[in-house]
Structure 1
Amino acid sequence: MSKITNRRSVLGAVLALPAAAATGSLIAATPAAAAGGVVADAWTDLVLEPGVTAQAGATPQVRLITLADTTYLQARGAITCNLAADTKIATLPAGLKPTWYVRATAPRNNSQGINSCRFEVNTAGAVSIYGGNSGNPITWVQFDSVQTIWR
């Protein structure tokens, strides 16, 4: 039993060492350096397709955020809809066009045990939702969990 305890103690000490070293350098760093050079663009509204509406107080928006030389697309807001097939729901604001498909998972109405759908942006900037069908339509989608690598 003492060997297991000793192994755990050694493992705990080894795992804690990098954290302690990193904490020391972060404490001494300036706030911008500690944040890793985070650059966040302003939130911009998505251009919604007919039949797709923003939920009250939750306008669908996107922005780019760069952290440690990696850029991410973040989304927020929610829509009300009736999607019985894979459907284009919006277009990205002008100037935001990915170089490849950008995909993430987003919460949707829970129906028949399915509570998420695919959020996808193509290279033309079209935002589509995948997963709805006539037997299990998507009636709302919430975007606050959407964060995916942009480039």
Structure 2
Amino acid sequence: MSHNRRSVLGAALALPAALTAGGLAAAAPAAAAPGGVDAGAWTPLVLETGITPSAGATPEVRLVTIAGTTFLQARGIVTCNLATDAKIGRLPDGFTAPAGYVRAAAPRNNSQGVNACRFEINPSGSVSVFGGNAGNPITWVQFDSVQTVWR
């Protein structure tokens, strides 16, 4: 029997890997989540004056329901010049507003080490961005990372 630390450690690490590999080979595929997935259509946000969609990256939102939980997804990029917290748009007509505030972090221009801002939709359907100031204005915001529980 070897008391070499390297061989003992190798044997200890190999055992769980061998057990897992055997278990994975015999495992059945997972069943689909109850209720499945229902993804709504992408719908453009209605933007405020001075907020410009980037070419080929129109800001859009959709609702995705997975196993009974609804999530908001957003995508697109806007250019702007926001030196204060500001409303940048509203939800599209016919889009159900949230019951409460919905918030997420969104990438923005990297200035003074700040590279994210708060994306928020309020119960009236207004879409706002928070974090700009006179010394560090927000000049663009990307919404592709916005994915949050809706209801």
TM-score scaled by length of structure 2: 0.83
Shift of 1:15: 6.0
- What percent of counterpart residues are identical? 62
- Alignment match of 2:12 (pick from 7, 29, 33): 7
Unpaired runs of 5+ in structure 1?
A: none
In 2 relative to 1, CA 16–52 (structure 1 residues): closer, same or farther, beyond 3 Å?
farther
Could you tell me which amino acid in structure 2 is paired with residue 8 of structure 1?
L
TM-score scaled by length of structure 1: 0.83
Unpaired runs of 5+ in structure 2?
A: none
Would you say how many aligned residue pairs link Structure 1 and Structure 2? 145
In 2 relative to 1, CA 34–101 (structure 1 residues): closer, same or farther, beyond 3 Å?
closer
Shift of 1:97: 0.8
- Alignment match of 2:29 (pick from 25, 30, 33): 25
Could you tell me which amino acid in structure 2 is paired with residue 139 of structure 1?
T
Query: Computing the radius of gyration over CA atoms, which structure comes out larger, 1 or 2?
Result: 2
- Alignment-derived partner of residue 75 in structure 1: 74
Written as runs of structure 1 = structure 2, the 5 A alignment for 1:1-150 is 1=5, 2-12=7-17, 24-26=28-30, 33=32, 37-93=36-92, 94-150=94-150
Looking at structure 2, the residues matched to 51 and 20 of structure 1 have their Cα atoms a distance apart, in angstroms, of: 57
More helix as a share of residues: 1
CA contact (8 A) 2:106 2:142 kept: yes
Give RMSD over aligned pairs: 2.4
SS of alignment partner, residue 100 of structure 2: coil
